[in-house]
Amino acid sequence: MLPKKAKNIFYAQSGGVTAVINASAHAVIETARKYDCFGEVYAGRNGIVGALREQLISVSQEAETELAKLKHTPAGAFGSCRYKLKSLEENQREYKRLIEVFEAHNIGYFFYNGGGDSQDTAYKVSQLGESLDYPICCIGIPKTVDNDLPFTDNCPGFGSVAKYVAVSTREAALDVASMCESSTKVFILEVMGRHAGWIAAAAGLAQQRAGDAPHIILLPERAFDQVAFLQKVQATVEREGYCVVVVSEGTRDAQGNFLADAGMSDAFGHKQLGGVAPVIAAVIKQALGFKYHWAVADYLQRSARHIASATDVAHAYALGEKAVQLAAEGVNAVMPIVVRDQDSPYQWHLEQVPLAEVANIERKMPEHYIDEEGFGITEACRRYLQPLIQGEDYPPYENGMPVYAHLKNICVPQKLGAFELA
């Protein structure tokens, strides 16, 4: 009897990209080669959309030298998307299409690398075996700079943003401190974090001594208290000569309105934010008259592979590897997670949780991570964050610039007709 033909793998990146999601991709590709049970590795062009459109990138057609660069290349090398599958009841057409594509290309394994919304999609796909009688092994691989997935110690992508924000805050604070006597008194850095303040909180790691920046961290977890805020800015400038504020893009007023609102929404219905720093600057200028400067890190923070955390890269790789190992063992509908054994020295191992429990749960900052005043982080928070930015993992450079992967992204020939997205 001939052995059953090895099933192919479909891997896709989803949602906002990170500095280390390609490290997970790299792990999936490398690890899959070690098992006979896997055939080809296909990557979805632009995530799950690539499956629906039958745009399957043939990873084996890439040069080995370029694939090797994935581990140190930021962003999504195969393209990502913001596209959330509806429930099977609401949109059976899309699930049927997925099955058609999977069958046409002998796909038996689905790895979905993303955040909360994506793990929800992964869960739905994992149920196709039961609901639509198409057996598929589906494993979620966690990723999100927002650090808001449940169960896992942290989410790959977050540690590197945290490091970028902490380093940038320390550096900019030195700049402001050296000029404050005759120039800028208040510096405001806006960072990502729509619902949770994890990224802004990480700026707290810039502090070494009493009085160090950041002096104020504005978190989405606390309604913006303008009076208390202005008092603290004033007091800090009087005491230190300057004041550094790090503000989450998702900071809201007491009524729950975002302080900044560009008035656009993305495909998930999230409001597109950006630009709370100038709002805060205007508030300070009007009330206190201080000279200010502000910066908005935006995509720079989540793509900053040049200052990635080695711990974060290690997690991203290990979780991708573990996902493939689980699939090889025949496990379905789980997401591998990082479990912390101890803070210092940091020790961790991997486990897995059912996708059914992960989907659509958003992890907030614990209350005891925010200090009493609401403008800073506690020692407990610092102990949690510190290991996640440990270690540098520099990309190679050529001509003064980092060398990043440049894939051909050639799709395998299509076998089915076109498909219109909902």
User: Which amino acids are annotated catalytic?
Assistant: 146
265 contacts 252 by C-beta, under 8 angstroms = no
Query: Nearest CA to 48 among 123, 148, 106?
Result: 123
Distance in Å, CB of 330 to a copy of itself, minimum: 32
Beta strands 107-114; 7-13: pairing state: parallel
Count Cβ neighbours within 10 Å for each residue of 191-211 and write b for 16 or more, e otherwise.
bbbbbbbbbbbbbbbbbeeee
Distance in Å, CB of 165 to a copy of itself, minimum: 10
Distance in Å, CB of 371 to a copy of itself, minimum: 20
Distance in Å, CB of 213 to a copy of itself, minimum: 11
- Looking at residue 3, the DSSP 8-state letter turns out to be P
Cα–Cα distance for residue pair 161/146, rounded to 1 Å: 9
Distance in Å, CB of 174 to a copy of itself, minimum: 4
* Helices assigned H by DSSP within 351-411: 355-358, 379-385
Q: Which is nearer to a copy of itself, 33 or 406 (CB)?
A: 406
Q: Which is nearer to a copy of itself, 7 or 302 (CB)?
A: 302
SS3 content of the chain, % helix, strand, coil (to 5): 40, 20, 40
Q: Which is nearer to a copy of itself, 378 or 390 (CB)?
A: 390
Provide the greatest CA pair distance for the chain.
84
Provide the residue type at 277 as one letter.
Answer: A
